[in-house]
């Protein structure tokens, strides 16, 4: 695949999807920490330190969606969303990958998640993965469940009382799976 991938979102914004570079790590860590503090979609309870972020998000491949330089605003490119892609299991099961996604709160619903999801499926196949599995999609995360099902994921299991959200609501988590190729 050739990066960056350029796309026009449904709101007309021109964006690019590319590998995450070291100078972008802190911005993505801050965004992930915002999502963690929201307490609705990630299992972590506390913001991640740089070391914790590196171990969790940067263990294999990581990508960002950012505004394109062609927006002619002369502003620095702004990171709008990010995702990681890594084996879900070690060794004999490492052909099944896992991915995690975040989108800036004010920009959700603009097609950034769909762009990342579609790109992730292509990237994963190009990297030799044979399937994608999500271990913990909270049942209250309807936008994600809807997106993943529209991209061919099936619910393969439910984990009762898997998550205590930030508001102390206890919810099930779904396990979702999609073969590639």
pLDDT score for 8: 94
pLDDT score for 71: 52
Q: SS3 of 15, please?
A: strand
pLDDT score for 73: 59
pLDDT score for 122: 98
> Percent of the chain, pLDDT > 90?
91
Among candidate residues 84, 154, 152, 91, the one with its CA nearest the CA of residue 123? 84
Instruction: Give the pLDDT confidence of 65-122 residue by residue, as tens digits.
Output: 999 875 555 677 899 999 999 999 999 999 999 999 999 999 999 999 999 999 999 9
Name the average pLDDT for the chain: 95
d(CA 35, CA 147) in angstroms, rounded, equals: 18
pLDDT score for 175: 98
Among candidate residues 85, 100, 116, 98, the one with its CA nearest the CA of residue 36? 100
Backbone angles phi, psi at 152, to 5 degrees: 95, 5
d(CA 176, CA 97) in angstroms, rounded, equals: 12
pLDDT score for 1: 87
Q: SS3 of 173, please?
A: strand
**Residue 155 and residue 29 in contact, taking contact as beta carbons nearer than 8 Å:** no
Instruction: Give the pLDDT confidence of 30-55 residue by residue, as tens digits.
Output: 999 999 999 999 999 999 999 999 99
């Amino acid at each position: 695949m050739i990066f960056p991938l350029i796309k026009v979102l449904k709101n007309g914004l021109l964006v690019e999807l590319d590998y995450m570079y070291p100078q972008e790590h802190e911005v993505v860590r801050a965004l992930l920490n915002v999502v963690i503090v929201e307490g609705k979609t990630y299992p972590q309870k506390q913001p991640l330190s740089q070391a914790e972020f590196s171990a969790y998000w940067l263990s294999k491949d990581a990508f960002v969606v950012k505004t394109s330089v062609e927006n002619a605003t002369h502003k620095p490119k702004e990171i709008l969303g990010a995702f990681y892609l890594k084996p879900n299991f070690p060794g004999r099961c490492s052909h099944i990958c896992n991915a995690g996604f975040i989108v800036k709160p004010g920009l959700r619903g603009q097609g950034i998640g769909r762009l990342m999801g579609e790109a992730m499926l292509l990237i994963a196949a190009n990297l030799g993965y044979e399937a994608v599995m999500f271990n913990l999609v909270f049942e209250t995360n309807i936008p994600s469940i809807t997106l993943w099902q529209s991209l061919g994921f099936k619910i393969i299991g439910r984990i009762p009382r898997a998550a205590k959200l930030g508001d102390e609501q206890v919810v099930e988590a779904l396990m979702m799976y999609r073969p590639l190729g």
